[in-house]
Amino acid sequence: MSSDNFKSDKKILQRVKEAYGFHTDLALAEFLGVSQPTVANWKKRDSIDLKLIITKCEELNQNWLLNGEGPVFKKELSLLNEDQLEYQYRSTYSEANALIAELTRRLGGLDVPMQVRNDIFLILSEAANKALGKVEEHLEIPEKKNNDS
């Protein structure tokens, strides 16, 4: 299958029918607000009113509509992005906690005056806790409990 054939206007019409569960060109024509002969002419010429179709199919993912790639509906696209974002936040949260533990361990071994060590620890803790607070707000993570045992 050539790339031109893949992106043909006939394929776009077929995708609209698939997305909305239309089994006939008449159902497609009624949805688009055109006559059945208009749809037949579009297919025959492999030329469509793309602006009309995009307007009528605004909930469809345009990348899928035009190229057959990605989720069918825009809402699926946003759900996918939310899932990916959730994963990134959770990964960041875990990495930040591990980094705080490692920095705390290393600060304890520095050969610097205690006040400098405490100042460094305070600055790092405030920055890390501020960042973690933003992540926790997004994830609605319950407050941490001290379980050192």
47 lies in the same domain as 99? no
Residue 13 confidence (pLDDT) above 80: yes
Q: Model's pTM, two decimal places?
A: 0.51
Residue 5 confidence (pLDDT) above 70: no
- CA 94 to the chain's CA centroid: 21
Name the residue among 9, 25, 23 with its Cα closest to residue 68: 9
Who has greater pLDDT, 37 or 99?
Answer: 37
CATH of the domain at 27: 1.10.260.40
Per-residue pLDDT tens digits for 27-40: 999 999 999 999 99
Asked, for residue 145, whether it belongs to a domain, the answer is no
59 lies in the same domain as 13? yes
The residue from 48, 72, 96 where one domain ends is 72
13 lies in the same domain as 28? yes
Length of the chain: 149
81 lies in the same domain as 100? yes
Asked if 141 and 93 count as a contact pair (C-beta separation under 8 A), the reply is yes
Residue 15 confidence (pLDDT) above 50: yes
Q: Which residues of 6-39 are buried (b: 16+ CB within 10 A; e: fewer)?
A: eebbebbbebbbebeebeebeebbeebebeeebb
Residue 60, SS3 per DSSP: strand
Who has greater pLDDT, 45 or 129?
Answer: 45
Q: How far apart are CA 20 and CA 24, in angstroms?
A: 11
Which alpha helices (H) appear in 7-113, and where do they start and end?
9-20, 25-32, 36-45, 50-56, 62-67, 74-108
Element (H, E) at 1: none
Who has greater pLDDT, 123 or 18?
Answer: 18
Domain assignment of residue 59, given as a range: 3-72
The residue from 47, 72, 97 where one domain ends is 72
Residue 95, SS3 per DSSP: helix
65 lies in the same domain as 28? yes
91 lies in the same domain as 66? no
Per-residue pLDDT tens digits for 26-84: 999 999 999 999 999 999 998 999 999 999 999 998 889 988 888 898 887 666 566 66
- Give the number of domains in the chain: 2
- Calculate the average pLDDT of the chain: 77
pLDDT of residue 85: 64
38 lies in the same domain as 94? no
**Which residues are CB-neighbours of 143 under 8 A, at least 6 positions away?**
none
Per-residue pLDDT band for 134 (boundaries 50, 70, 90) equals low
Asked, for residue 112, whether it belongs to a domain, the answer is yes
